[in-house]
Amino acid sequence: MTTPVPTTGLDVPDLFPEPEPAPAGRTAPARRTAPDRWTTPARLTTLTALAVLTVIAFAAVLSAATGDLRGGLRRLGGRAAPHALAAAELRAELLRLDAVLAGGLTAGRGRDGPGRTRAPDLFTGALARANADLRVLAAASAEDPAARRELVTVLDGLSRYQFLAGQAMLLAGEGGAGRESAPPERALARYRQARELMLRTVLPAVGRLADGGVQSVDRTYREQRRALATARVAAIALGGVLLVVLAALNLTLLRRHNRWINPAVALVTVLACVLVGGGVQLLLSQEHRLRAAREGPLAAALAFSAARAAPGHEGTGLAGSGAPVPARLVSRDGTAGTAGTAGTARRDDGTLERLIDLNRRDLDRRLGAGLRDLDRRDMMPPVGAAVMAGLLLAGVRPRLAEFR
């Protein structure tokens, strides 16, 4: 009698009985394996579709970047830069206007003083230049509500200033007994009112316009540089992916079809190198041109315009007449222009105007060259993408037909 073997309650052989042996003369069926889904046709189709999509994405990124840059260059050259330059020039012309008025109220002593006879002509000329700057500002600030409000303040204050200045010159002409006579007190009172209005209302509004113009220039410049940097990174990344996919496609054709080269796919690879290199070079050159324009002629023109409107330049370059401002014409807060001669005034101010005009033309030339370069290459991304997609399909389709 055998002793029973203790169990744990779960007899594994009972739960999982061993399979019965196959009858003699018969073999066990082979294990069925899953079919290989990553076949050569599937691999070629996937790589071709990925290459076409990458080409389209690269062309879209490059086209969007060039379109955005074209708009930025037009904003910079058509609105932002003219706004900043016109506001700085307007401040200079208004200071000239006030200095001419002061010189016109001064009795003409010596050969440097214009006297009261030439004052209206000088005043009219300075006013015409100021109006030209105002027209530029009106066109440049058409889409900026804050700039339009400041412009309305300037126009309203300038119209009142003209009225007071006209009264001052009229009273001075009526009350003067000769070239050596001092202007009457009523003319001086009108001048003080006009100068107070210029200093406390018109010039601060013009200063805010100038600050807004410079901020608009800097904002446009930063936005364009940021967009170009982003587009450049995206173009390099997509170009790298495209070249890797094309390399994998060429390798698949080499291994599966024993073909050293597929002419269509090889040509697409060469075109991809040209398109990626040309696109990245275009973005780099435009970024360099934008930086050179901002830090070169535009910065110089703004600096020269600020120099014309600097407080220390009022009596020389800005006075127009160059006549010193007498103590009797000083406004009640004690401010007045500094003294200078007419020859020095016209010489300094003329030099600055020529420098400003030279740098403005240089800025227009640089921005125009950038726009022309973009226009010449405008169709490069879409046409290149279409040609490459067509060549890919033409090169892979015969190979896929071999598996049908």
pLDDT, tens digit, 9 for 90 and up, residues 55-77: 999 999 999 999 999 998 998 88
The mean pLDDT of 76-85, rounded to a whole number, is 88
% the chain with pLDDT above 70: 73
The mean pLDDT of 69-86, rounded to a whole number, is 89
3 state SS for 58-86 = HHHHHHHHHHHHHHHHHHHHHHHHHHHHH
Q: 335 — phi, psi (to 5°)?
A: -95, 145
- Specify the DSSP class assigned to residue 181: S
Number of H helices, E strands in the chain: 11, 0
Domain spans, the chain: 39-326+337-401
| Tens digit of each residue's pLDDT (9 = 90 or more) over 195-239 | 999 999 999 999 999 899 899 899 999 999 999 999 999 999 999
Instruction: Please say if the pLDDT value at position 327 is more than 60.
Output: no
| Tens digit of each residue's pLDDT (9 = 90 or more) over 258-286 | 666 778 888 999 999 999 999 999 999 98
Mean of per-residue pLDDT scores for the chain = 78
Instruction: Please say if the pLDDT value at position 334 is more than 90.
Output: no
3-state DSSP assignment of residue 374: helix
Residue-level pLDDT at 122: 81
Residue-level pLDDT at 21: 57
Residues ≥6 apart with Cβ < 8 Å to 293: 76, 363, 366, 367, 370
Residue-level pLDDT at 306: 80
% the chain with pLDDT above 90: 27
The residue written with tokens 């001075």 in the block is 172
Instruction: Please say if the pLDDT value at position 335 is more than 50.
Output: no
Least confident of 8-17, 96-105, 297-306, 355-364: 8-17
